């Protein structure tokens, strides 16, 4: 198979879909990998490293898209990239379609076979291709929140860990999954007062066993979210429903009653966000203010630590990339039900039920396309 690696074009996105090591893995199996010149240069992955791994360098993205049978990326294709996709071409990347009707329509129109990292499941449950970026984003959420609590960045001027004689800041984390767990590790490490809310009592018990009285675990209801948010200096939203739009757990009314200068970090913004007041921002302009509350809603947070994120992501994605290249998409999906869950759009149809329900499309079972 001929595999294409274009340079990412989203705002301040320096991650890359394949490292030289991943290229070598594919090349050694007889596949040709086309790499756009400079694709990994921003994070120290040089064209020479890619060539040494067996890649063929091409001048621009147009040549990559025109020649490749499968495109491997990191972020969802931008409009100019969607326009270059063609029927039957495989797109393997993050998509986050449920809150993005324009991208969904463009992918349907393209006729491409679109496999989303974030809905591929694992043998033990969970979302193993989303997990590494959720780990990064959870840890970054506390860093970003702490920084934006500084007065010069619009916050109330609070040091999360406090100092002797001054109380620590209160961090509220909504969702005790991968994002929430890594956020609370960072917040506890900083010495903050931490409250974690979730509806999964077993998960709350697990966290209580690990962290004990260093954190408060609270069953999530509308009332408990309201109470926690109003007391917080920093609120981190890490709620995920696989493939579907995130639920709006923090309402506009709650935000209006929060402390002035408090910060919210909406890690769920890729799926539409779990704060009613959220809208996606970029690394260039990461924040906005609603009712005196600073909102940090960057849709590609891990892109800020692009080198770490790239290697972590490749560890998770390369095995499925090899399977798709070796077998073709239909056989690879037949053989692996977990990879099959990644198929979101194919041949002009929506093949992931949560996306179809969110956007009003007819759902087509992916099994019907695997003949």
Q: Which positions are catalytic? A: 96, 270
**Greatest distance between any 2 Cα atoms in the chain:** 69
Contact between residue 325 and residue 317 where contact means Cβ atoms under 8 Å apart: no
Contact between residue 90 and residue 347 where contact means Cβ atoms under 8 Å apart: no
Burial of 130 (0-12, 13-18, 19+ CB in 10 A): buried
Residue with tokens 């002009």: 348
Question: What single DSSP character describes residue 16?
Answer: -
Which parts of 117-213 are beta strand (E)? 170-174, 193-198
The DSSP string of 67-115 is H-SEEE-SSPPPHHHHTT--TT-EEEE----TT-HHHHHHHHHHT-EEE
Angle between helix axes 131-148 and 178-190 (nearest 10 degrees) is 40
Q: In Å, how far from its chain's centre is CA 201?
A: 25
- Three-state DSSP at 214 gives helix
Distance CA(102)–CA(9), nearest Å, equals: 17
Contact between residue 359 and residue 345 where contact means Cβ atoms under 8 Å apart: no
Handedness of CA 144, 145, 151, 157 (dihedral sign): negative
């Amino acid at each position: 198979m001929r595999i294409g690696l274009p340079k990412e074009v989203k705002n301040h996105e320096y991650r890359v879909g394949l490292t030289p090591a991943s290229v070598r893995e594919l090349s050694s199996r007889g596949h040709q990998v086309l790499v756009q010149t400079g694709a990994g240069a921003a994070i120290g992955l040089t064209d020479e490293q890619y060539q040494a791994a067996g890649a063929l360098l091409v001048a621009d993205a147009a040549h990559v898209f025109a020649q490749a049978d499968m495109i491997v990326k990191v972020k969802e294709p931008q409009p100019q990239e969607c326009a270059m996709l063609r029927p039957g071409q495989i797109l393997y990347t993050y998509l986050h379609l449920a809150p993005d009707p324009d991208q969904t329509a463009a992918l349907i129109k393209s006729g491409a076979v679109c496999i989303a990292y974030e809905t591929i499941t694992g043998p033990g449950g969970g979302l193993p291709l989303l997990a590494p970026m959720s780990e990064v984003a959870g840890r970054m959420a506390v860093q970003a929140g702490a920084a934006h609590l500084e007065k010069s960045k619009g916050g109330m001027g609070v040091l999360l860990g406090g100092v002797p004689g001054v109380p620590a800041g209160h961090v509220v984390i909504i969702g005790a999954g991968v994002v929430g767990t890594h956020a609370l590790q960072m917040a506890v490490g900083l010495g903050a007062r931490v409250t974690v809310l979730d509806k999964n009592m077993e998960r709350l018990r697990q966290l209580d066993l690990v962290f004990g009285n260093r954190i408060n675990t609270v069953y999530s209801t509308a009332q408990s979210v309201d109470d926690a948010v109003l007391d917080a200096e920093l609120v981190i939203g890490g709620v995920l429903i696989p493939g579907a739009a995130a639920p709006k757990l923090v309402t506009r009314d709650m935000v209006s009653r929060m402390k002035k200068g408090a910060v919210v970090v909406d890690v769920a913004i890729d799926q539409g966000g779990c704060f009613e007041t959220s809208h996606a921002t970029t690394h260039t302009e990461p924040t906005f203010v609603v009712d005196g509350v600073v909102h940090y809603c960057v849709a590609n947070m891990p892109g800020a630590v692009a080198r770490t994120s790239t290697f972590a992501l490749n560890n998770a994605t390369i095995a499925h990339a090899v399977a798709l290249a070796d077998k073709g998409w239909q056989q690879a999906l037949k053989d692996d039900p977990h990879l099959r869950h990644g198929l979101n759009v194919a041949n002009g149809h929506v093949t992931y039920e949560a996306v179809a329900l969110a956007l009003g499309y007819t759902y087509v079972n992916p099994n019907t396309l695997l003949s």
